[in-house]
A and B are shown apart, each in its own frame.
Chain A
């Protein structure tokens, strides 16, 4: 294919010709092209099908506001749906597919929707698919999703990486058009630390699209030279291809840098995109303006474009959608399009100017007071029907039409917090209003100052005042002479009588839909948006909102500002989810914490389980074991028979030191700690202030003024936070210091009848492990393996004779190997979290399932522990009547009457013969397992008045798992209820 619509000049690199494919056709373009400009140059106007009616569509704009020309870019795993062809930079070998069409773009079977459009008017979802209700999920929704839609995903993992970065600056300038460049020059030469960000690959904004002179230079040359000068300054960072997506609190902005999107694949080691968080003292919004259309019958045919976009394609990209072009305008800007096109050798059929006093044409016909009342051309514009001031209709041939209804200041980022744009009657547009984001000032066209001269001076002036505000000396750069044409516009929003006239082309919302919404009493602009979906597509209605509001105002008999205002939210343009995820995906979704014995456990073939961020060994399968229960049963039985070892490093450890350490623990725990002797450990229960159990653990007193507190693995962080709250906010003058030492100590539980014998081989000879020398609940600082410092606690979660030994973390791997070696003569077994769970259920110890955020000390059978002789967190509210009713839940044990039956956790308890419903609920099972020691299932449960119901037979029901059978209420202490083993 030849580039039949390629013009002379432009900012493309004609020295190189590159190839690209659209659907099944290979074409040629040049570096500097966008996909849209290259397609236009190749004579392609049709680039997509519309969302609802499958109408043929081509590009409307030449920028990121594009509603129509959206394609699937690239192939395979890199395929990206809904990419705007108007911003996709061309590279050699680029491939793109049109979307939302079948079987092909030129013949789309679902264009039948267009013929059926009367059924698809505003609110058709709500009206048409109401009945029968069951049809929605099965029939209507899949059908609509297939018929109306955007591009499709590759369904493969994204092969590219995304980074996050953080930047700081005195001044962030958003937009590198004339206003932004002038502001950057002023601020930079005055010594501020400046970031200049622009979404385009080339700084200059409209200067690249217009033929304006800047002093002796062309606008684009001046922009390029200025950007180059800025880039060379050490205090300036010029960021092209960087879209500022959102304005957040306190001068923080989010920006997406497209590092590699203009390349076939990201260079080795480079991310595809970087999401920047920019911390700015001040910001200047120089985002320019977006042209808005006039709405008329059949205004969506490929070839009908914004007049300013035609100029951009002609001047910057040397491309035109057709050789014969007409212009439809209500302002002088439309005439500029005609002049620029003429200068490029394009035939201008006519300029249809809605103003009766339209200026004379200079080399082209002007139809003053005229309107366009219809268009034709199936897959692209071929004719327009013009009605002149006298009402005479005539038909004009043209392959493209430039439309302009004026320009809207690009106020998006001013709305991201509390800004509410206000109507400026002088320029007939919304301008920034309300409270802008902290530190933001708006300049140039974004502030409604449309001439190049005004853009330059407002940018420079605002930057100078910021420099002065920040206490620096202002250095003013020389700025070139530039055009200062006033806005000459007479508002004209839509041609009367038009029905199939598109307001929002991306969501297929017509003028008729807006009138219908008004008829049906959706008169608030917010209701209008949601009923018609106006402005709710991925372009956020950048080209459609104002026209929609103008039509609404007309049918409501109000003015535009009375109808409401326009609003935008972050992100400014659609952003890949991958950019927000950054490196946090897959295995790196969050950090993984490995225990000190992890590598050893891996060598043993352990199966791991995620516990918060930790990976813990769940069980250690041995050859021949085919089911996890075999491994777990073996680990439990061998631990109770001889000795087992478990890594318990993950439990939270908090060091509490200071003269008031004991008084502080008295405050934290509901039970008393003041009188705990040095060298002893005590179980402690922490309540929340509302009287509900928060966490449990042990506190070991290593010295008068030194305790080591343990928490559960899951609550290590929240308990520490809570303790700091109590220390700093409630007891500010207690002499006590806290530090988390969870990561500092590797800790192993050594449990079972042979635990002492095993440990004796590891501790240094002078350590007395005898029952008298180191009794149950003793603790102390000792040495092991020849003077390695360690901590030893004689505490037991399993109910066996047990110790927990802690060594500095870096010795953890050596310690587990030494313990296993020392235990070989006792057939020591490593056990995982499953065996740990089984043994604690057999022993009736509460854990996370029991401390589930709804239970009290009373429920847990520890009501007497809550001391009333001292103040502690939660003590007062734990005495509330509602938490102390006679039928309060109590922790009990359960066993199935038929011992072969299972007991599922989560099952509920019912009195025999009672209805199975919530009103008759007696309690629920929290933890359950198979006890290899007892040979049947056992469980812990909360049961109403459970402490007085020992021996009662209840109905266990679990409709979810289909279980219903009898269980017997027993003591929760299934194994060694007297505690003889742990004191042995």
Chain B
């Protein structure tokens, strides 16, 4: 597979380490009243779609950036690649 790195261009998938669902960016607030339930959901429950899947890849043999890759799990077609940091900011994770 080739992953079109937003700053480095197309790179071979073997340079990356796969983590999983990009929903891991949405870490719950630890002080919420139902934090425990939210963290169990966050830690253990994943969607397993046949189709588009947003997932985290780490460019370990490269610039060490975490990417959010949108990949079709049926065809391996990659439709979008973003820096995870940009996604995290967009999702309100700035301090």
Interface set of A (CB-CB < 8 Å, partner B): 248-252, 279, 417-418, 435, 438, 689-690, 717, 721, 724-725, 728-734, 871, 875-877, 879-880
A717 to B60, CA, bound (A): 9
B2 touches A252 (CB 8 A): yes
Q: Are A871 and B30 in contact (CB under 8 A)?
A: yes
A730 and B88 in contact, given A249-B1, A250-B2, A876-B30 (Cβ under 8 angstroms): yes
Partner of A249, one of B2, B58, B94: B2
User: For B1, what are the chain A residues with a Cβ–Cβ distance below 8 Å?
Assistant: 248-250, 252
A contact residues around B30 at 8 Å (CB): 871, 875-876
Smallest CB-CB separation from A688: which chain B residue?
B43
Q: Inside 8 A of A252's CB, which chain B residues have their CB?
A: 1-2
Besides the contacts A250-B2, A252-B1, A871-B30, what 7 more A-B pairs have beta carbons closer than 8 Å?
A250-B1, A251-B2, A279-B12, A689-B42, A725-B66, A730-B27, A880-B36
Please determine whether B2 and A721 come into contact, CB atoms closer than 8 angstroms. Answer: no
- The answer to whether A724 and B58 have CB atoms under 8 Å apart is yes
* B residues less than 8 Å from A690 (CB atoms): 43-44
Question: Chain B at the A interface: mostly helix, strand, loop or mixed?
Answer: mixed
Given known A250-B76, A252-B2, contact A734–B25 (CB-CB < 8 A): no
A252 to B76, CA, bound (A): 13
The total number of A-B Cβ pairs within 8 Å is 85
Report whether A689 and B39 are in contact in the complex, using a CB–CB cutoff of 8 Å: yes
Contact B25 A249 (CB under 8 A): no
Asked if residues A689 and B43 are in contact (CB atoms below 8 Å), the reply is: yes
Q: Which of A251, A435, A731, A871 contacts B93 (CB 8 A)?
A: A731
Given the contacts A252-B2, A728-B84, A879 and B65 also touching, CB distance less than 8 Å? no
Q: In the complex, are the beta carbons of A733 and B2 less than 8 A apart?
A: no
Contact residue among A438, A721, A730, A875 (Cβ-Cβ distance under 8 Å from B17) = A721
The reply to whether B89 and A418 form a contact with Cβ atoms under 8 Å apart is no
Main secondary structure of the interface of A (DSSP, over half): mixed
Contact B66 A724 (CB under 8 A): yes
> With A689-B43, A690-B43 in contact, do A732 and B58 touch (Cβ < 8 Å)?
no
Give min CB distance, B47 to chain A, whole Å. 18
Closest to B25 in A: A729
Minimum CB–CB distance for B16 against chain A, Å:
11
Closest to B4 in A: A250
CB distance from B27 to the nearest CB of A (A): 5
Return the contact of B88 from the options A248, A689, A732 (Cβ within 8 A): A732
Residues of A within 8 A of B25 (CB): 729-730
- A444 shortest CB reach to chain B, Å: 26
Interface pairs A-B: 5 shortest CB-CB: A732-B88, A250-B2, A249-B1, A733-B94, A732-B85
B85 touches A728 (CB 8 A): yes
Q: How far is the CA of A875 from the CA of B35 in the complex (A)?
A: 11
Q: What chain A residues lie within 8 Å of B89 (beta carbons)?
A: 732-733
In whole angstroms, how far apart are the Cα atoms of A913 and B91 in the complex? 59
The answer to whether A731 and B95 touch across the interface, beta carbons within 8 angstroms, is: yes
Closest chain B residue, CB of each to CB of A738: B64
Q: Determine whether the beta carbon of B19 is less than 8 Å from that of A249.
A: no
Of the candidates A417, A438, A721, which one forms a contact with B60 in the assembled complex, judged by CB atoms under 8 Å apart? A721
Cβ–Cβ < 8 Å partners of A730 in chain B: 25, 27, 88, 93
Q: Is the CB of B66 within 8 A of A729?
A: yes
When distances are taken between beta carbons in the complex, the residues of chain B under 8 Å from A731 are: 93, 95
Task: Give Cα distance in the complex from A733 to B86, angstroms.
Answer: 10
Interchain CB contact under 8 A, A279 and B2: yes
Interface check B40, CB cutoff 8 A = yes
Residues of A close to B2: CB separation below 8 A: 249-252, 279
CA–CA, A876 and B33, complex, Å = 12
Distance of A842 Cα from B13 Cα, bound (Å): 45
**Given that A438-B77, A728-B85, A879-B36 are known contacts, is A733 also in contact with B58, CB under 8 Å in the complex?**
no
* Contacts known (A721-B17, A729-B66); A249 close to B84, Cβ less than 8 A: no
Asked whether A733 lies within 8 Å of B95 as measured between CB atoms, the reply is yes
